[in-house]
Amino acid sequence: MSAPVGRNLGSARQAVRPFIGLILVLILGVILSPRGAHGGIVFISAGNLTDILLQQGEIGIMALAMTLVVIAGGIDLSVGSVLAFSASLAGIMLVRWTPGCGPGPQIAATVAAVLVLGAAIGAVNGAIITRLRLQPFVMTLAAMIGVRGLTKWMTGNTNIDFGFDAAASATFSDLFSRKPLIVAIWAVHAVAAHQVLARTVYGRHLRAVGENERAAAFTGLPIRRARTATYVICGAAAALAGLVHAARSHQGNPNDGVAYELDVIAAVVIGGTALSGGQGTILGTVTGTLILGVLTNVLRLRMVDSNVELMVKAVIIIVAVWLQRRDRSPSPT
């Protein structure tokens, strides 16, 4: 088999495999699901299926942005810390800040400040990676540690609980924790990210940079701007997820978001995006996020130990990466 044909078949397998995986875990969910009081299958109830979408909303939003970062040949380990920073900042601005205005303007100012600062953290990551030529893993690992420390210092390492009265924090929680809104945010961002990646010049630049940075440089592509923008988008997405997280948990907790970056990267990899860069789709990432969500839901319905859940996820990640490497290896002629 010729090399081009082998590569095309490998790409086709990578594109189809996440959907096959989702179908398999859905079937597994139906088989293993406990029965309700009236004998119905709990897993396929409307409430349970929409709960999966709700529970994966935060990971899903961040995974969309992470897909762009990875396709461009990078990685961002700081998203969990940025989520905690954003949730805690929202708590400070909604609970401890008294601007002397109504809840509406206070919530609007909070959302704007959180998104801007999240994007700013991403901009710092991107600028240092592209201009100082620091490895993305090293830089974003440092950012993960530094932002976590900043968040704990900023809050005194204490939770900021939201109120349940007519205060701005209560209104914010009621608004941003609604299931239809969270699912809609995820869906809108998925469509937008797909359009950017599949139908814009910027999307083609990201693939070219991730596939072969040297060749992209020779052709004059704006490598620094393209890569930096992915980190800005990723920081803003983590900030948005932090707002949702704060609303759902009804607090700003500086210790939240630990290891979220692993679930985000796992969703991207399981969805078929190559960690080496250059290949991946938004639809695949959404599918990978759903696979993790369905699997977690099934295991929890069966009351499987959470430590076993982590081990199962680890095995799935290893298998997904191994399959990618096998598909990308040259086929014997």
SS3 251: strand
The answer to whether position 80 is within a domain reads yes
pLDDT band at 309 (very low <50, low <70, confident <90, very high): confident
CA distance 265 to 260: 9
CA distance 238 to 189: 13
Number of domains in the chain: 1
pLDDT, average across residues 237-242: 98
Identify which has the larger pLDDT, 15 or 128.
Answer: 128
Contacts of 156 (CB under 8 A, 6+ apart): none
The answer to whether position 119 is within a domain reads yes
CA distance 209 to 236: 22
The answer to whether position 311 is within a domain reads no
What's the pTM value of the predicted model, to 2 decimals? 0.92
Which residues constitute the domain of residue 90? 57-258
CA distance 125 to 220: 23
Q: Supply 128's token pair.
A: 């240092």
The answer to whether position 169 is within a domain reads yes
Residue ranges of alpha helices (H) inside the chain are 3-32, 46-55, 57-71, 79-91, 103-131, 136-155, 168-176, 179-199, 201-211, 213-218, 223-249, 260-270, 282-301, 306-328
The answer to whether position 139 is within a domain reads yes
> Which range (24-33, 73-82, 95-104, 261-270) has the least confidence?
95-104
The answer to whether position 279 is within a domain reads no
CA-nearest of 125, 130, 119 to 222 is 130
Given a cut of 50, whether residue 109 has pLDDT beyond it is yes
- DSSP label at residue 35: B
The answer to whether position 309 is within a domain reads no
- DSSP label at residue 96: I
The answer to whether position 13 is within a domain reads no
pLDDT, average across residues 61-81: 97
Axis crossing angle, helix 103-131 with helix 168-176, rounded to the nearest 10: 70
SS3 203: helix
Give yes or no for a contact between 259 and 267, defined as CB atoms under 8 angstroms apart.
no
Give yes or no for a contact between 232 and 74, defined as CB atoms under 8 angstroms apart.
no
